[in-house]
Structure 1
């Protein structure tokens, strides 16, 4: 969900010898959408969102449209809901694959043929995203699944073929030279929606910049979804585990598309709408990096008088959030140390670029 104009997150890691003593995060500059949208008809803004956000444009559009429709007490048909969910899923697959390719497979010569097939499948799937569901989407998803199988993943991502490109990449992430200390984990879910959307329109604007749920900051994204959906016990939360979760989710979403993209078997909570009073409503959309929220208040003429949004990055890169929990107190055993921290940051997939710097301190 990066702005086309671009911005970044600044991360500073303080080291005492090789121990991470502190992590400081200077958040990105959020786009002033509340000011830009005020006084405008929602219909005039839908085509603006893809120009403001280079990633997750469909999720942004559907979140805004769903919030406005709910504020107006407009019902949507089952067919419309199904089409929107399929569009979100296709965009999510594309974002997950893009992260996989750019972050992990771009230099993999051994898997070049499978990677080319993967990219062709992704391009075909994106090209068919707005068409009625049919053979084109099925063929594209089959190509993606076949390419991931060739790269080493099978059984919805739970098994990795020994010696395969993905197995080698996962092993490399396991050996990046970072020993974390045990940490408590919490995960954002649909159960948190109502609390969050009410606070978006009631609390002071700082909530959008530094959100929390009763003082804690949950993780959102593929690994968080996997842990919540499968009710898994606490486990290591390193870059390797998050990579496996991304691949598993891609295969699971492809399986849903191949089965016909039926609304009854869609992921729970992928799009939710909330009425918050007269002319006020919100929507939540589960996109590639996690849960996205839009909240609106309309004036009597149907124009937007207030708009707030909350993206996954604000949770994962919160000064007290998942990135800090993953690094605080960890021992960096490998060289260069930057590679280990880079891998953890990339595993949380920020929607904007980031800078990383280190400083030495006297003690942990």
Structure 2
């Protein structure tokens, strides 16, 4: 049995059973199980503002997105219209997604090449990303129901974006981002960054189409849809379904129409190359979205409750890993009586979700190759918790 584990809160466990002889094997069966953190239960009994402050501490990997999803859910339950803050909120979550992708590019992707991680390379990116909140909200009160005192410093934000795009151009792309499959192959052959070297590996004939899962993309964005699903079925959070089937969320769903993703899909089909192309496309598109958001920013004051009777509500936010939703119900005192969430890992690492489907039936050379390939697919789907892999023959 081969096994590998990482520390973290919650976990994903992958168990693979191989069939075959000396001339090659296949994964006969793949079992994926997710042990979900129970941190959302810590929100129950809290006042709305307290719950929003607590959420980023409970879910630190995507703290801004978690806080904003809870804030939006509280706003829906309290009748607060925070529309004037949505552009600033999108800027915060896009920057956080870039930070998360950046961590993958200098820590996880080198590991998949057998190279040492380079966390120190994140210093400049994280300094730029952390400067965005006070540049939008001088009192750092952007993560609260109704929003804070929004006073954007456009010139400073544009300078921050220049620093972020400079980091991407130097550390990830080492030049212009690739725009199609041929461009990707040339970029990969140049080997100018860890990302390019990983692309070279993933474009190899035996890996480019490996891990194809054929899972539908999670196109639903409506908070009302998630509210209905989460409130009506307590088990939905653990076993989410979209149109009665598992679904994939994340960069591929967001970037499926990007020219690079379309070209790579036409060339290699589903699988590792397509998933990686979607991550590169996300890294290229996020700064563009941030630039448009900066241009649209306007000052705004905190919004106040429009109804006197608390109810229930749902908030949705995007993370690097995919779509996140929080549903909650407030009691008569304005405290959370119930709280449920569905996170990207719940979709992508479901028992019959994209990872399980991509592994089942896939060809491998031996048990070590099975672990290595499974690690690549896990990295492309990017769980927010530890992942352990066991292989049985």
- TM-score class normalised by the smaller sequence: 0.7 to 0.9
Q: Which consecutive unaligned segments of at least 5 residues does structure 1 have?
A: 265-276
Q: How does 1:94-105 map to 2 (within 5 A)?
A: 94-105=99-110
The alpha carbon displacement at 1:180 in A equals 4.3
Which residue is 2:220 aligned to?
190
> Secondary structure in 2 aligned to 1:13?
strand
Contact 1:176 1:339 in 2 (8 A): no
Contact 1:256 1:262 in 2 (8 A): no
> Secondary structure in 2 aligned to 1:351?
coil
> Which residue of the other structure, out of 21, 38, 47, is the alignment partner of 1:41?
47
Which residue is 1:220 aligned to?
249
> Which residue of the other structure, out of 322, 328, 335, is the alignment partner of 2:354?
322
Distance 1:321 1:8, change over 3 A: same
Distance 1:333 1:191, change over 3 A: same
Partners of 2:369 and 2:114 in 1: CA distance: 24
Partners of 1:296 and 1:116 in 2: CA distance: 36
> Secondary structure in 1 aligned to 2:16?
strand
Partners of 1:199 and 1:142 in 2: CA distance: 38
Q: Deviations over 1:292-318 (max 9, x none)?
A: 001111122211111111100001000
- 1:126 paired with 2:129, answer yes
Q: Which consecutive unaligned segments of at least 5 residues does structure 2 have?
A: 1-6, 137-153, 298-308
- 1:69 paired with 2:102, answer no
Partners of 2:314 and 2:106 in 1: CA distance: 34
> Secondary structure in 2 aligned to 1:62?
helix
Contact 2:16 2:31 in 1 (8 A): yes
What TM-score comes out, normalization by structure 1 length?
0.82
Deviates more, 1:251-260 or 1:12-21: 251-260
Root-mean-square deviation (CA, aligned residues, Å) is 3.3
Partners of 1:51 and 1:181 in 2: CA distance: 34
Contact 1:142 1:258 in 2 (8 A): no
Distance 1:157 1:175, change over 3 A: closer
The alpha carbon displacement at 1:263 in A equals 4.9
Which residue is 1:211 aligned to?
240
Which residue is 1:11 aligned to?
14
Partners of 1:316 and 1:108 in 2: CA distance: 23
Distance 1:148 1:6, change over 3 A: same
Partners of 1:317 and 1:116 in 2: CA distance: 26
> Secondary structure in 1 aligned to 2:237?
helix
> Secondary structure in 2 aligned to 1:24?
strand
Distance 1:82 1:259, change over 3 A: closer
Q: Deviations over 1:8-32 (max 9, x none)?
A: 1111011112111111122123315
Which residue is 2:28 aligned to?
21
Distance 1:15 1:192, change over 3 A: farther
Partners of 1:357 and 1:117 in 2: CA distance: 31
Distance 1:27 1:252, change over 3 A: same
Contact 2:169 2:175 in 1 (8 A): no
> Secondary structure in 2 aligned to 1:206?
coil
Distance 1:137 1:54, change over 3 A: same
Aligned length: 341
